[in-house]
Amino acid sequence: MGFFTKILLTSVCVAVLAFWWTKPSFHAESLRGARVLVTGASTGIGEQMAYHYARFGAQVVITARREKVLQQVTEKCMSLGAQKALYIAADMASESDPEKVVDFALEKLGGLDYLVLNHIGPSPFSMWEGDVEHIQWLMKVNFFSYIRMAWKALASLEQSKGSMVIVSSLLGKMQSPFVAPYSSTKFALNGFFGSLQHELAMKRSNVSISICTLGLIDTESAMEKVSGVTSMPFYPATDAALNIIMTGATRQSELFYPWFTYIVAATKHWFPSISDYFIRNSYTYNP
Ligand SMILES: NC(=O)c1ccc[n+]([C@@H]2O[C@H](COP(=O)([O-])OP(=O)(O)OC[C@H]3O[C@@H](n4cnc5c(N)ncnc54)[C@H](OP(=O)(O)O)[C@@H]3O)[C@@H](O)[C@H]2O)c1
Ligand SMILES: *[C@@H]1O[C@H](CO)[C@@H](O)[C@H](O)[C@H]1NC(C)=O
């Protein structure tokens, strides 16, 4: 016991120090005038990212399904200092909308510096009871639309030496109960964009990819699902949003937010049975 505690504590210290030392510094001015497309920006973390980019003086295009809400978000972006704020309503489950959205941004902004992929379709928080159609639909929204948009934007990002930012989750690194469909889409994203990171580096591409691993964030949709079933701590969407933006702007390949998600993911690999025990006991479930 004492031995394991020591190893754990040492690893925590080393990991935390490594984070601080290797973090490149963020310059807010670098985002002035930057041409940004943020998906899933009608609410939650996406909406907060739109406001941060606006405060930094960027030109933003936002998208989601609800036009009325998007309009309100763009108005607030303008009042916060965005050089431009435009919206386009789109359904990411469609085959054509993802590319249509990128085309819209490329045309209105004359190119892109940041492609921030963040949207997710709603998915139940419950045991999987055989609904394959839901997973097929969720894959379209949470995964296939991401790769279509990434491919469509790549040429412009090469020209601008731009960045792709992929908002993923701890549930894309570590399995957990009640989220099989959602977790599948996040593992798919991590697999795909992790592979693409290697390929772009080998091609000496100008484009950076940042994959963001988030823990529990206090957005309405997340809180509504987990309230009463888990005692996991949650973190503010506005702070998560800022950390994601800084990770993209500094071209870092990964973000772990909050920081301990790194430890949680590592523990799963080092001590799987301990990790499984804690995961299963962190939810209240009475069959
Ligand atoms: N909140 C958390 O605890 C947490 C934890 C880890 C990772 N994350 C990740 O963080 C990101 C944002 O999460 P969030 O909690 O901010 O989500 P959210 O509040 O539920 O927002 C989801 C966004 O996606 C849009 N959307 C939903 N279905 C869509 C569709 N079919 N087509 C186009 N847009 C669609 C929604 O707008 P409309 O309804 O208007 O379409 C909304 O703007 C996600 O990638 C999520 O996986 C969140
Ligand atoms: C990287 O950007 C330069 C312009 O600065 C461009 O000439 C070059 O083709 C780009 N690289 C790729 C792989 O497109």
- Residue 130 class from Cβ within 10 Å (0-12 exposed, 13-18 middle, 19+ buried)? exposed
Beta carbon of 155 within 6 Å of any ligand 2 atom:
no
Q: Are strands 114-117 and 84-89 parallel, antiparallel or unpaired?
A: unpaired
**Amino acid 230: pLDDT:** 82
Cα-Cα end-to-end distance for the chain: 33
Question: Which of 39, 45, 91, 164 best tests ligand 1's pocket when mutated (most atoms within 8 Å of CB)?
Answer: 45
Compute CA distances 62 → 54, 56, 108, 135, 191, whole Å: 11, 16, 12, 26, 26
Give me the residue spans of the domains in the chain: 30-121+134-280
Residue 205 CA, closest ligand 2 atom number? 13
Residue nearest to atom 1 of ligand 2 (CA): 206
Q: Is residue 34 in contact with ligand 1, taking CB distance under 6 Å?
A: no
Q: What is the pTM of this model?
A: 0.94
Question: Residue 239's closest CA among 221, 217, 261?
Answer: 217
For residue 65 the two structure tokens come to: 């399904």
Q: Which residue has the tokens 């697999």?
A: 191
* Ligand 2 atom 5 nearest Cα: 159
SS3 256: strand
**Structure token digits, residue 226:** 């987990």
Annotation: CATH topology of 30-121+134-280: Rossmann fold (3.40.50)
3-state helix, strand, coil in the chain (%, to 5): 55, 15, 30
Cβ–Cβ < 8 Å for 62, 172: no
Q: Looking at residue 19, what is its pLDDT?
A: 66
Is any ligand 1 atom within 6 A of the Cβ of residue 214? yes
206 lines ligand 2 (CB under 6 A): yes
* Cα 83 to Cα 129: distance, rounded to the nearest angstrom: 48
Q: What pLDDT is attached to residue 80?
A: 98
Question: Catalytic: 257?
Answer: no
Write down the pLDDT at residue 10. Answer: 84
Peptide bond connecting 124 to the previous residue in cis, omega within 30 degrees of 0:
no
Q: Show pLDDT as tens, one digit a residue, over the chain (287 residues).
A: 577 778 888 887 887 787 677 778 999 999 999 999 999 999 999 999 999 999 999 999 999 999 999 999 999 999 999 999 999 999 999 999 999 999 999 999 999 999 999 999 999 999 999 999 999 999 999 999 999 999 999 999 999 999 999 999 999 999 999 999 999 999 999 999 999 999 999 999 999 999 999 999 999 999 999 888 887 899 999 999 999 999 999 999 999 999 999 999 999 999 999 999 999 988 887 77
